[in-house]
Each structure stands twice: as C-alpha cells, then as structure tokens.
A and B are shown apart, each in its own frame.
Chain A
C-alpha cells in the first residue's frame, strides 16, 4: 500500500522542526499543567506580555489561572541546589489577550530556557538558536539584539526615577524628538540624554556600531559580552538595536527580538532574566526566548487544492459492505476517499468513481 501523506498544518510542521532543533542542542522537553496558582503571576505581572489573566476557583477554594506564560512555571520548577545548566524547551498553549484583537485567545508558543551557571557559551548558543529558529520558519528573517547593561549604564546615571522611566520608554519607541525634548525638562541630564538619543538611531556594520559604543563610553563589560555573542551570529540576518529592551526589573544582559518578513509584529522575544530569577528566590542565572506561533498562522497557511482526492458515489441500492469495501480498495492507491450519495457544490475533488454493478443486484 502506498504511503499516505499526512497533511501537517504549517505551524505544526514548524513546531516539530523547532523541537528537533532544540533537542539536537541537548534541550529536554517540559510538559506542564494548563493552569497554575494565580499567585505565581500576580507578583510578576510586568513580566507577562499582557497583565490580563483568566482565573477560576479550584475545588479547594484556591485561585487558579490558565497559564498566560511558560517561563515563570519553568523557573518555579528549578531547584536552588541544582548544579550545572538546565536546558528546557517546550511547545505549549498559553492564554492571554491578543495584541491584535484585544480579546483572550489560546496562543501556541514554543521556546526554550537555559538556566543555571550561565556563561558566554550559553549566551552565544541561545542567541544562535534564536537565529536558527527564525531561519527554520522563513528565509527572510532578522534577529535584533541588544544589551541591557549598555542601556542601563546610561539610564542609571539620570537624575530621577521619572527621567529613567521616560527615557527607557522613548528609547523603546525610537522617539527621538521626545528624547531630545526631555533635555529641557532635565537640563542636568542633557549629556546622558544626548547619548541615549544617539543610541536610538545607531546603524551601520557591527564594527561601526561597536566603535560608536566605545566613543559614547558605554559599559565595557557589556560591550565585550555583546560583541562575543554577535560574533557567532550570521551577520546578514541580524541587527544590533537598542530599542530592543526588556522590562528593567526582570531583564539584564542580552535581549533578543526576531522578525519575519510578512508578519507584522515580532515573532521571537526573549533575553537574559537573572533579575526575575532573583525575585523568585533563585540563585541561578537564566536566558531564554519564546516563538509566538499565532502570528505565523497566515504566513504558514497551506493552500489546500482538494478537500478529498476521490469521491465514491453510491446510491440506496448499494449495500453498506460493498461501499466500504470499494472505498478501501480505492484507498490502497494512497488517495483519500469519501463515499457519498450526492456531492456538495462546494466540495473540491480530483475525481469521482460511481459505484457500478452489484448495486442493483
């Protein structure tokens, strides 16, 4: 019997490919419950993509949440006395408000977390895996990368908390005019704000960018780390971009965001989040990223030419046994077969076979 092709949806294929990629780097899969205690998220709302969470009361009265995020569950499961590095990957449904529709949606998310005694090798590997994940999905992708240490080095010298918050917000929005206008409100910070403004539009080859960072007097250790990580990435599919920032209370170090041509928003998002680990009472360092599969649905949609290969047309005079046997016989060639008395107008099919002989007997 000919091998029958199983039609995988585009996202299903990508999820499989990503899982194979991560497994080949020694990551192990992590399966979790669909819900968690609400408290896990309540304390870390800013870490979540959206603060809206679907909650319900469990039979024992405790407040539960349909999980809006995977990272927090994985971090929770990491033991403090564990040694070495834990490499965990997942593909899970999460439940959160979609940016696009403003309503709760079930969103397929794949990703990985690398937790433990993390050094340059792990940072480089995760950044590389982020780039490879993008390339698995599309030939035309860009990974943007930045370093919180560089930005924080400047922002932390600003004179007030308010100025810090504003400056970060404007930097993320690439709002150059607002950053420049801030100099009027915070004259004592003018020099730093100027440097941040030049970060906004920092473009050029990686060497040019690093030279410029040196000129600006950015944090040396952060530059060194970013330079090392960048050196393992394919320069054609990446950009250094200081608008790529995570929430300052959670992220430190490398931050990543990935884009794919044809998808309006970012497809990959992640970074190093030692501060989140510390907030959750964990000593280890951690870096990871998530791939948002929902944004890929339309990009990966497979156009189906036919609903079914063969329509087997029978009438009331045909015996059930004959119809099923005939259909099975047709399936042996590897094609899909649907038996029906009449063919719906909207059905698309390759051929029809009309039951003949025997039926009237």
Chain B
C-alpha cells in the first residue's frame, strides 16, 4: 500500500490526476467530502489531503511514503526527505515586495514580515543585510501598509494581491514549483511502487514540457 500525502487545493487535484494516470487511481478522492483519507485497495494506494505546509511533515515522519510540496515549503522546513522530482507545475516565485517607491536605507535594520522566516533569513544573510524578522501567518501584505515592516518576503504568483495593496516586487529570491518528496525509508522498502509512480510522473512532466515548447514554436 502506497501512502500519498497531497496538498489540499487546486495543486493537489492537479497532482492527483497525474498519480491516477500513473496507475494509482482512487476516484473517490476527488469527491466533495469531509473525509480526509481515501483508499483504493485494488490499486494499492491511499491518499490523504493535508494542509500544504504539512505535507513535508507527513512524509518526513513516514505517515506518507510520498507527497507533493512546493519548493517554498521544502526550503523553509528543510525536511529530511528525498526531493526527487520537479513536477514543473504550481509555478510561482519567492520575492521581496515593498510599498511603491520604497527605498532601502542600509543605515538601519530592515524589518521583514514573512511566513517564510528561514528563507528570508538565509536570503538576507547571503547578501549581508541586517534584518528584524516579523513572523506572520497570513495577510502578510498588511504589514508594510501599516508601517509594521519595511518589506515582505512572500510567494508571488500574478502580483494582483500586491498591486491591490499598493505594493510591488523589488527583488526575486527564487522560482518555486511543486516537487515530489519521498520518505527515505519508504524509498527502500516500497521501491517498486515508488519507481512506478516516479517513472510515469517523469514522462508526464516531459510530455507537458515538450508540448509547451511546441506551442512556443
């Protein structure tokens, strides 16, 4: 039985479709329901929907053998797992944003509001900037608007939320996409199933990439 942790939401549904195509179907999993676990004994798979930021915890602790998490989550929590495949979907970027017209004054400590404290810390230490981290759990855009922070470090997809709050991206930190992560012990004990999934996922990613390249031409 392969245990799969999927992030709740659109990305999770997209990823489920890829797993189903790989031969691990469980149509029930997509049905609107309060249930959290869905199992298909014949296909030998069990899915559970978890909060996106918790996927890495389930996989690291072996409750799930395999899961899908954003690169942001992996870099923030640095779980002890294999980060085995870039699904090339759920793409966005980690960026620094500030109020329009903001100018960094290197003479003072920069106040940074973020959900991603570790990413922000390592980014600013890499450029040698002294910062004061303000850890928030949501509505990060509010911090600079109220003057509580100078900048924010957050995920930017289209930039609409930033724009609507009078903010703009001033620096990109890194691109983000969904990654397949695998528990290190499960990788040894369930190699067959895991390799089967990975093989199919990899082909699907390559096909999609090839198609995108073709469209661009």
Binding site for B on A (CB under 8 A): 9, 98, 100-101, 103, 105, 297-298, 301, 304, 346
Closest approach, in angstroms, between the C-beta of B151 and any C-beta of chain A? 13
A298 contacts across to B, CB distance below 8 A: 108, 111
Q: A103 and B133: CB pair below 8 A?
A: yes
Q: Is the CB of A101 within 8 A of B108?
A: no
Query: Contacts of A297 on B, CB cut-off 8 Å?
Result: 108-109
Q: How many chain B residues have a CB neighbour from A under 8 Å?
A: 9
A to B CB contacts below 8 Å, 18 in the list = A9-B107, A98-B132, A100-B132, A100-B134, A101-B132, A101-B133, A101-B134, A103-B133, A105-B132, A297-B108, A297-B109, A298-B108, A298-B111, A301-B105, A301-B108, A304-B105, A304-B107, A346-B103
Closest beta carbon of chain B to A101's beta carbon, Å = 5
* Chain B residues engaging chain A, CB cutoff 8 angstroms: 103, 105, 107-109, 111, 132-134
Interface of B is mostly: loop
Contacts of A101 in B (CB 8 A): 132-134
Give Cα A346–Cα B103 distance, bound, in whole angstroms.
9
Q: Which of A98, A101, A297, A298 has the most CB of B within 10 A?
A: A101
Most buried by B among A9, A298, A304: A298
What DSSP secondary structure best describes chain A's contact surface?
loop
Q: How far is the CA of A103 from the CA of B109 in the complex (A)?
A: 14
**In the complex, what's the smallest C-beta–C-beta distance from A8 to chain B, in angstroms?**
11
CB closest chain-B residue, reference A300: B108
CA separation between A318 and B103, bound complex, in Å?
33
Chain A residues in 8 Å Cβ range of B107? 9, 304
Chain A residue with the shortest CB-CB distance to B148: A264
Q: Give the distance in Å from the alpha carbon of A50 to the alpha carbon of B129 in the complex.
A: 25
Q: Report how far A22 CA is from B111 CA in the complex, Å.
A: 32
CA distance A297 to B107 in the complex (A): 10
- Closest Cβ neighbor of B131 among chain A residues: A101
Q: How far is the CA of A150 from the CA of B105 in the complex (A)?
A: 47
In the complex the two chains form, what is the Cα distance from A346 to B108 in whole Å? 18
Residues of B within 8 A of A103 (CB): 133
B-side contacts of A301, CB under 8 Å: 105, 108
- Residues in B with CB closer than 8 Å to A304 are 105, 107
- For the complex of A and B, the 4 pairs showing the least CB-CB separation, nearest first, are A101-B132, A101-B133, A297-B108, A301-B108
Q: List B contacts of A98 (CB < 8 A).
A: 132
Contacts of B133 in A (CB 8 A): 101, 103
Measured CB to CB, the nearest residue on chain B to A11 is B108
Give A167 Cβ to nearest chain B Cβ, in Å. 33
Chain A residue numbers with a CB within 8 Å of B109 are: 297
Quote the shortest CB–CB distance from A30 to chain B (angstroms).
26
Q: Give complex CA distance A346, B132 in Å.
A: 24
